[in-house]
């Protein structure tokens, strides 16, 4: 069974996916309105500790979603690697959070709740939306003035388990316990500053809290699947693809893809540094086989129209790198068919492999080079118009995930 998340556009088509997004947005807005989040007074009351409903609702949503996501991942229903996580730009994120926080306090809305308020005809919500649109326009026109800061302190797909170097289950349990403490503290603040009576709150919240803690303990006990676990689940399917040569891409197709403006091609050369220095395709990134797992987070953060092509001298090391990337759910990953040796044969008429070398698939560079030419060799950047190559296209771009906005501008 294919784990979630499912690529809706592939199953329902582009407009079908848009329809699902629209329904989710409508229901989300309706829930916010039912909770009273279309009222700026109710939202602003949290900053005076009189009504902490916003904190309770938002943290409840965060905690429940977190437990369900990592719980589903633990039992194999969800592939967490395919869940989009906004890349972290630390200092720009802090600055943006401060700007939004001040705007929230002054205006009484966050971006999401202002749209809900405007949709129900409230003038303050409408003016807030107009102000947000004005700010977006101003930002778009001026971002070039502080572009260096905007892209500074990049940390990629950086999460709490990365920050604390802890298992995901430990973080899940810790966040749940922290949220429950904040809920208790929020009730005390409401009692002191708002005059509310915590005893009047529904009693089922205790059962809900206990159930959430039990589920969090379950996530911790089961643990998150490793790359080896993921590969074990898909090994039969992927080994069949290898055997049928569905993922080994002809050099001609790789060359054509590099000139396709709709696709980004990332070439990953997993050979030794010596062979890489002797010859490599232009723009190919040198990633030794042992370091492939280390670059996975960066590859996962690439745009979803990126195609990854791994290569070695023949296919042995490239196949191992491909298995590593596939086990980490890096999408659109392929192998350079025949490796660098075949690439050179295809695009350099003067270079010929010896019969002895061609008969031994030991992943060595079979073309002799007197000097380390790197990408200065003519075959490193062949002219696509100079060759008429016949090949069976193998690459099928799969758009599996991408950035999605949510409430309060997050």
Residue 144 lies in a domain: yes
pLDDT tens digits along 158-187? 899 999 999 999 999 999 999 999 999 999
Domain identity same for 45 and 61: yes
Residue 59 lies in a domain: yes
What is the average pLDDT value for the chain, to the nearest integer? 89
Domain identity same for 23 and 53: yes
Q: Would you say residue 120 has pLDDT above 80?
A: yes
More confident of the two residues 401 and 278: 278
320-339 burial code (b ≥16 CB/10 A, e <16): bbbbbbbbbbbbbbbbbbbb
Range of the domain at 60: 8-227
Task: Grade residue 402 by pLDDT with cuts at 50, 70 and 90.
Answer: low
Q: What is the mean pLDDT of residues 372-388?
A: 90
Residue 315 lies in a domain: yes
Q: What is the mean pLDDT of residues 133-137?
A: 93
Domain of 334, CATH number, reads: 3.40.250.10
Helix axes 123-142, 90-107, angle to 10 degrees: 150
Task: Grade residue 220 by pLDDT with cuts at 50, 70 and 90.
Answer: very high
Domain identity same for 237 and 206: no
Domain identity same for 191 and 167: yes
Residue 242 lies in a domain: yes
Residue 180 lies in a domain: yes
User: Which pLDDT value is given to residue 368?
Assistant: 81
Domain identity same for 149 and 296: no
Domain identity same for 341 and 211: no
Give the dihedral sign, CA 62/64/67/69. negative
Domain identity same for 217 and 307: no
User: Which pLDDT value is given to residue 335?
Assistant: 97
Q: Would you say residue 201 has pLDDT above 90?
A: no
Q: Would you say residue 114 has pLDDT above 90?
A: yes
User: Which pLDDT value is given to residue 76?
Assistant: 87
Task: Grade residue 397 by pLDDT with cuts at 50, 70 and 90.
Answer: confident
Domain identity same for 86 and 199: yes
Domain identity same for 102 and 213: yes
pTM beyond 0.85: no
Percent of the chain whose pLDDT exceeds 70: 93
Residue 186 lies in a domain: yes
Residue 23 lies in a domain: yes
Number of structural domains, the chain?
2
Task: Grade residue 208 by pLDDT with cuts at 50, 70 and 90.
Answer: very high
What 3-state DSSP class applies to 181?
helix
Q: What is the mean pLDDT of residues 350-374?
A: 70
Residue 55 lies in a domain: yes
- State residue 98 phi and psi, 5-degree precision: -65, -45
Q: Would you say residue 365 has pLDDT above 50?
A: yes
More confident of the two residues 360 and 383: 383
Task: Grade residue 206 by pLDDT with cuts at 50, 70 and 90.
Answer: very high
Domain identity same for 198 and 108: yes
Quick one: 294 exposed, middle or buried, by C-beta within 10 A (0-12, 13-18, 19+)? exposed
Q: Which of 172, 206, 227 is the last residue of a domain?
A: 227
Task: Grade residue 268 by pLDDT with cuts at 50, 70 and 90.
Answer: very high
Q: Would you say residue 355 has pLDDT above 50?
A: no
What 3-state DSSP class applies to 72?
helix
Return d(Cα 305, Cα 400) in angstroms, integer: 9
Domain identity same for 286 and 298: yes
Domain identity same for 18 and 132: yes
């Amino acid at each position: 069974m294919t784990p979630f998340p499912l690529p809706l556009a592939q199953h329902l088509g582009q407009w079908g996916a848009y329809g699902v997004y629209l329904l989710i947005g409508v229901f989300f807005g309706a829930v916010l309105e039912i909770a009273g989040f279309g009222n700026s007074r109710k939202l602003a009351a949290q900053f005076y500790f009189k009504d902490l409903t916003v904190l309770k609702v938002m943290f409840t949503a965060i905690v429940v979603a977190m437990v369900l996501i990592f719980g589903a991942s633990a039992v194999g229903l969800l592939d967490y690697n395919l869940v989009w996580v906004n890349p972290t730009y630390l200092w720009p994120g802090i600055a943006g959070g401060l700007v939004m926080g001040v705007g929230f306090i002054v205006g009484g809305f966050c971006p999401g709740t202002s749209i809900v308020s405007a949709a129900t005809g409230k003038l303050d919500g409408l003016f807030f939306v107009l102000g947000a649109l004005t700010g977006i326009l101003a930002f778009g026109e001026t971002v070039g003035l502080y572009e260096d800061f905007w892209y500074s302190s990049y940390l990629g797909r950086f999460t709490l388990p990365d920050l604390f170097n802890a298992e995901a289950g430990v973080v899940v349990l810790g966040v749940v316990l922290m949220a429950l403490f904040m809920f208790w503290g929020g009730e005390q603040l409401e009692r002191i500053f708002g005059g509310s009576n915590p005893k009047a709150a529904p009693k089922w919240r205790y059962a809900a809290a206990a159930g959430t803690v039990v589920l969090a303990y379950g996530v911790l006990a089961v643990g998150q699947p490793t790359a080896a676990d993921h590969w074990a689940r898909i090994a039969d399917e992927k080994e069949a693809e290898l055997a049928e040569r569905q993922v080994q891409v002809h050099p001609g197709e790789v060359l054509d893809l590099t000139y396709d403006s709709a696709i980004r091609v990332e070439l990953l050369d997993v050979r030794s540094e010596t062979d890489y220095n002797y010859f490599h395709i232009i723009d190919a990134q040198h990633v030794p086989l042992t370091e492939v797992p280390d670059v996975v987070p960066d590859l996962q953060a690439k745009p979803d129209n990126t195609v990854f092509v791994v290569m070695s001298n023949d296919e042995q090391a490239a196949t191992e790198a491909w298995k590593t990337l596939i086990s980490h759910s890096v999408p659109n990953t392929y192998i350079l068919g025949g490796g660098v040796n075949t690439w050179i044969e295809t695009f350099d008429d003067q270079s010929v492999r010896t019969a002895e070398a061609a008969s031994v698939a030991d992943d060595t560079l079979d073309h002799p080079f007197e000097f380390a030419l790197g990408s200065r060799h003519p075959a490193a950047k062949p002219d696509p118009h100079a060759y008429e190559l016949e090949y069976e296209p193998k690459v099928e771009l799969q758009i599996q995930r991408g950035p999605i906005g949510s409430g309060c501008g997050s």
